[in-house]
Chains A and B, each alone.
Chain A
Amino acid sequence: KNQVEQSPQSLIILEGKNCTLQCNYTVSPFSNLRWYKQDTGRGPVSLTIMTFSENTKSNGRYTATLDADTKQSSLHITASQLSDSASYICVVSRSNDYKLSFGAGTTVTVRA
Protein backbone atom coordinates (compact mmCIF):
# COMPACT_ATOMS: atom_id res chain seq x y z
CA LYS A 1 0.00 0.00 0.00
CA ASN A 2 1.35 3.40 -0.97
CA GLN A 3 2.32 5.46 2.03
CA VAL A 4 1.27 8.69 0.30
CA GLU A 5 -2.30 8.90 -0.95
CA GLN A 6 -3.60 11.80 -2.99
CA SER A 7 -7.11 12.88 -3.89
CA PRO A 8 -8.81 13.51 -6.15
CA GLN A 9 -7.08 11.53 -8.88
CA SER A 10 -8.03 14.25 -11.36
CA LEU A 11 -10.10 17.37 -11.56
CA ILE A 12 -11.23 19.92 -14.12
CA ILE A 13 -11.71 23.56 -13.22
CA LEU A 14 -12.50 26.74 -15.10
CA GLU A 15 -9.85 29.39 -15.50
CA GLY A 16 -9.92 31.85 -12.62
CA LYS A 17 -11.43 29.40 -10.13
CA ASN A 18 -9.74 27.99 -7.04
CA CYS A 19 -9.13 24.36 -6.18
CA THR A 20 -7.67 22.29 -3.35
CA LEU A 21 -5.73 19.04 -3.61
CA GLN A 22 -5.37 16.63 -0.70
CA CYS A 23 -2.51 14.44 0.47
CA ASN A 24 -2.61 11.90 3.32
CA TYR A 25 0.52 10.07 4.38
CA THR A 26 1.62 7.37 6.77
CA VAL A 27 5.37 7.84 6.27
CA SER A 28 7.21 7.74 9.57
CA PRO A 29 9.38 9.13 11.06
CA PHE A 30 8.43 12.29 9.20
CA SER A 31 11.00 14.79 8.01
CA ASN A 32 9.42 17.02 5.41
CA LEU A 33 6.71 17.21 2.77
CA ARG A 34 7.03 18.68 -0.69
CA TRP A 35 4.58 19.46 -3.43
CA TYR A 36 5.89 19.10 -6.97
CA LYS A 37 4.30 20.24 -10.24
CA GLN A 38 4.85 18.02 -13.27
CA ASP A 39 3.92 19.24 -16.71
CA THR A 40 3.15 16.56 -19.29
CA GLY A 41 6.34 15.00 -20.60
CA ARG A 42 8.54 16.93 -18.18
CA GLY A 43 10.24 16.23 -14.89
CA PRO A 44 8.68 17.37 -11.58
CA VAL A 45 9.47 20.86 -10.30
CA SER A 46 9.41 21.66 -6.58
CA LEU A 47 6.71 24.12 -5.47
CA THR A 48 6.90 24.07 -1.67
CA ILE A 49 8.63 22.26 1.16
CA MET A 50 7.41 22.08 4.76
CA THR A 51 9.03 20.59 7.82
CA PHE A 52 7.31 19.35 10.96
CA SER A 53 7.05 22.78 12.53
CA GLU A 54 5.61 24.56 9.50
CA ASN A 55 1.89 24.46 8.82
CA THR A 56 1.65 26.69 5.78
CA LYS A 57 3.87 27.74 2.91
CA SER A 58 3.07 29.87 -0.12
CA ASN A 59 4.62 30.14 -3.56
CA GLY A 60 2.74 32.71 -5.60
CA ARG A 61 -0.78 31.42 -6.20
CA TYR A 62 0.07 28.08 -4.60
CA THR A 63 -0.46 27.65 -0.85
CA ALA A 64 0.38 24.40 0.91
CA THR A 65 -0.75 23.44 4.39
CA LEU A 66 0.48 20.70 6.68
CA ASP A 67 -1.09 19.08 9.73
CA ALA A 68 1.62 16.79 11.07
CA ASP A 69 -0.69 15.47 13.79
CA THR A 70 -3.27 14.12 11.36
CA LYS A 71 -0.64 13.54 8.65
CA GLN A 72 -2.51 15.54 6.08
CA SER A 73 -1.47 18.20 3.62
CA SER A 74 -3.29 20.27 1.05
CA LEU A 75 -2.29 22.37 -1.92
CA HIS A 76 -4.57 25.28 -2.77
CA ILE A 77 -4.39 26.92 -6.18
CA THR A 78 -5.86 30.41 -6.31
CA ALA A 79 -7.22 32.08 -9.44
CA SER A 80 -6.18 29.19 -11.67
CA GLN A 81 -4.53 29.80 -15.03
CA LEU A 82 -4.30 27.60 -18.10
CA SER A 83 -0.62 27.05 -17.30
CA ASP A 84 -1.62 25.39 -14.02
CA SER A 85 -2.73 22.34 -16.00
CA ALA A 86 -0.35 19.65 -14.77
CA SER A 87 0.04 16.78 -12.36
CA TYR A 88 0.68 17.78 -8.74
CA ILE A 89 2.63 15.26 -6.71
CA CYS A 90 2.88 15.09 -2.92
CA VAL A 91 6.28 13.83 -1.75
CA VAL A 92 7.20 12.87 1.81
CA SER A 93 10.67 12.34 3.23
CA ARG A 94 11.63 10.22 6.26
CA SER A 95 14.02 11.54 8.83
CA ASN A 96 16.26 8.47 8.55
CA ASP A 97 16.20 7.90 4.80
CA TYR A 98 17.13 9.90 1.73
CA LYS A 99 14.52 8.11 -0.39
CA LEU A 100 11.34 10.02 -1.11
CA SER A 101 7.82 8.58 -0.97
CA PHE A 102 5.74 9.84 -3.88
CA GLY A 103 2.00 10.04 -4.24
CA ALA A 104 0.43 9.09 -7.55
CA GLY A 105 -0.41 12.72 -8.23
CA THR A 106 -3.54 14.72 -8.97
CA THR A 107 -4.03 15.73 -12.59
CA VAL A 108 -5.44 19.24 -12.83
CA THR A 109 -6.96 20.49 -16.07
CA VAL A 110 -7.78 24.19 -16.32
CA ARG A 111 -10.21 25.11 -19.07
CA ALA A 112 -10.88 28.53 -20.54
Chain B
Amino acid sequence: DTGVSQDPRHKITKRGQNVTFRCDPISEHNRLYWYRQTLGQGPEFLTYFQNEAQLEKSRLLSDRFSAERPKGSFSTLEIQRTEQGDSAMYLCASSQGAGLAGGSTDTQYFGPGTRLTVL
Protein backbone atom coordinates (compact mmCIF):
# COMPACT_ATOMS: atom_id res chain seq x y z
CA ASP B 1 0.00 0.00 0.00
CA THR B 2 1.58 3.26 -1.12
CA GLY B 3 -0.95 5.60 0.51
CA VAL B 4 -0.66 7.62 3.69
CA SER B 5 -0.59 5.42 6.76
CA GLN B 6 -1.20 6.31 10.38
CA ASP B 7 -0.53 4.42 13.57
CA PRO B 8 -2.28 3.58 15.78
CA ARG B 9 -5.76 3.62 14.28
CA HIS B 10 -7.37 3.86 17.70
CA LYS B 11 -6.03 5.03 21.06
CA ILE B 12 -7.83 5.08 24.38
CA THR B 13 -6.04 6.80 27.21
CA LYS B 14 -6.71 8.24 30.62
CA ARG B 15 -6.72 11.95 31.21
CA GLY B 16 -3.27 13.25 32.02
CA GLN B 17 -1.39 10.63 30.03
CA ASN B 18 0.85 11.39 27.05
CA VAL B 19 0.15 9.95 23.61
CA THR B 20 2.12 9.89 20.37
CA PHE B 21 0.80 9.28 16.88
CA ARG B 22 2.78 8.47 13.77
CA CYS B 23 2.15 9.37 10.15
CA ASP B 24 3.95 7.91 7.14
CA PRO B 25 3.23 10.03 4.07
CA ILE B 26 3.39 8.98 0.44
CA SER B 27 7.12 8.58 -0.06
CA GLU B 28 7.76 11.26 -2.69
CA HIS B 29 5.58 13.90 -1.02
CA ASN B 30 7.38 16.88 0.47
CA ARG B 31 4.38 18.40 2.28
CA LEU B 32 2.75 16.96 5.36
CA TYR B 33 -0.24 18.24 7.30
CA TRP B 34 -1.93 17.36 10.58
CA TYR B 35 -5.64 17.97 11.13
CA ARG B 36 -8.10 17.34 13.92
CA GLN B 37 -11.68 16.33 13.22
CA THR B 38 -14.52 16.12 15.69
CA LEU B 39 -17.81 14.38 15.04
CA GLY B 40 -19.98 16.11 12.46
CA GLN B 41 -17.33 18.66 11.55
CA GLY B 42 -14.79 19.04 8.80
CA PRO B 43 -11.08 18.71 9.58
CA GLU B 44 -9.35 21.63 11.30
CA PHE B 45 -5.78 22.53 10.40
CA LEU B 46 -3.19 21.92 13.11
CA THR B 47 0.23 22.17 11.52
CA TYR B 48 2.16 21.94 8.25
CA PHE B 49 5.61 20.71 7.28
CA GLN B 50 7.49 21.29 4.08
CA ASN B 51 10.19 18.64 4.14
CA GLU B 52 11.51 18.72 7.72
CA ALA B 53 10.59 22.34 8.39
CA GLN B 54 7.47 23.05 10.41
CA LEU B 55 6.21 26.18 8.69
CA GLU B 56 3.03 26.88 10.58
CA LYS B 57 1.17 25.89 13.72
CA SER B 58 -2.48 26.63 14.29
CA ARG B 59 -3.62 28.39 17.43
CA LEU B 60 -5.49 25.13 18.10
CA LEU B 61 -2.10 23.57 18.79
CA SER B 62 -1.56 24.42 22.43
CA ASP B 63 1.79 24.00 24.16
CA ARG B 64 0.73 20.46 25.09
CA PHE B 65 0.94 19.52 21.41
CA SER B 66 4.18 19.02 19.52
CA ALA B 67 4.82 17.71 16.03
CA GLU B 68 8.04 16.67 14.39
CA ARG B 69 9.21 15.50 11.00
CA PRO B 70 12.88 14.89 11.72
CA LYS B 71 14.08 13.61 8.37
CA GLY B 72 11.40 15.01 6.13
CA SER B 73 9.72 11.64 5.89
CA PHE B 74 7.47 10.32 8.68
CA SER B 75 5.98 12.65 11.27
CA THR B 76 4.90 12.29 14.88
CA LEU B 77 2.27 14.22 16.81
CA GLU B 78 2.56 14.11 20.59
CA ILE B 79 -0.06 15.27 23.05
CA GLN B 80 1.08 15.72 26.63
CA ARG B 81 -1.20 15.66 29.67
CA THR B 82 -4.22 14.72 27.58
CA GLU B 83 -7.60 16.25 28.35
CA GLN B 84 -11.07 14.98 27.51
CA GLY B 85 -11.40 17.79 24.98
CA ASP B 86 -8.55 16.25 23.01
CA SER B 87 -10.80 13.36 22.01
CA ALA B 88 -11.07 13.52 18.24
CA MET B 89 -9.89 11.97 14.99
CA TYR B 90 -6.37 13.09 14.12
CA LEU B 91 -5.78 13.07 10.38
CA CYS B 92 -2.52 13.29 8.52
CA ALA B 93 -2.28 14.29 4.86
CA SER B 94 0.56 14.64 2.40
CA SER B 95 1.06 16.26 -0.98
CA GLN B 96 3.73 17.09 -3.48
CA GLY B 97 4.09 20.80 -4.08
CA ALA B 98 6.62 23.24 -5.42
CA GLY B 99 7.83 26.29 -3.54
CA LEU B 100 6.33 27.83 -0.44
CA ALA B 101 3.52 29.74 -2.09
CA GLY B 102 -0.05 28.96 -1.27
CA GLY B 103 -3.05 28.22 -3.38
CA SER B 104 -1.44 25.19 -4.92
CA THR B 105 -3.59 22.69 -6.74
CA ASP B 106 -1.63 19.76 -5.37
CA THR B 107 -4.07 17.27 -3.93
CA GLN B 108 -3.74 16.36 -0.30
CA TYR B 109 -3.98 12.62 0.28
CA PHE B 110 -5.33 11.74 3.68
CA GLY B 111 -4.47 8.84 5.91
CA PRO B 112 -7.14 6.77 7.71
CA GLY B 113 -6.74 8.80 10.88
CA THR B 114 -6.08 7.99 14.52
CA ARG B 115 -9.14 8.11 16.73
CA LEU B 116 -8.22 9.30 20.22
CA THR B 117 -10.52 8.79 23.17
CA VAL B 118 -9.53 10.39 26.47
CA LEU B 119 -11.37 8.98 29.47
> What CA separation (Å) do A43 and B5 show in the bound complex?
10
**Interface flag for B2 (CB, 8 Å):** no
Q: With A43-B4, A43-B91 in contact, is A102–B44 under 8 Å at CB?
A: yes
Number of residue pairs spanning A and B whose beta carbons lie under 8 angstroms apart: 71
Interface residues on A, range: 20 to 34
**Interface flag for A80 (CB, 8 Å):** no
Nearest-CB distance from A49 to chain B (Å)? 6
Q: With A99-B45, A102-B42, A103-B42 in contact, is A43–B103 under 8 Å at CB?
A: no
Nearest-CB distance from A27 to chain B (Å)? 11
Count residues of B near A (Cβ-Cβ below 8 Å). 26
A binding-site residues for B, Cβ under 8 Å: 4, 29, 31-32, 34, 36, 41-46, 49, 51, 89, 91, 93-100, 102-105
Q: A43, A91, A105: which has the most chain B beta carbons within 10 Å?
A: A43
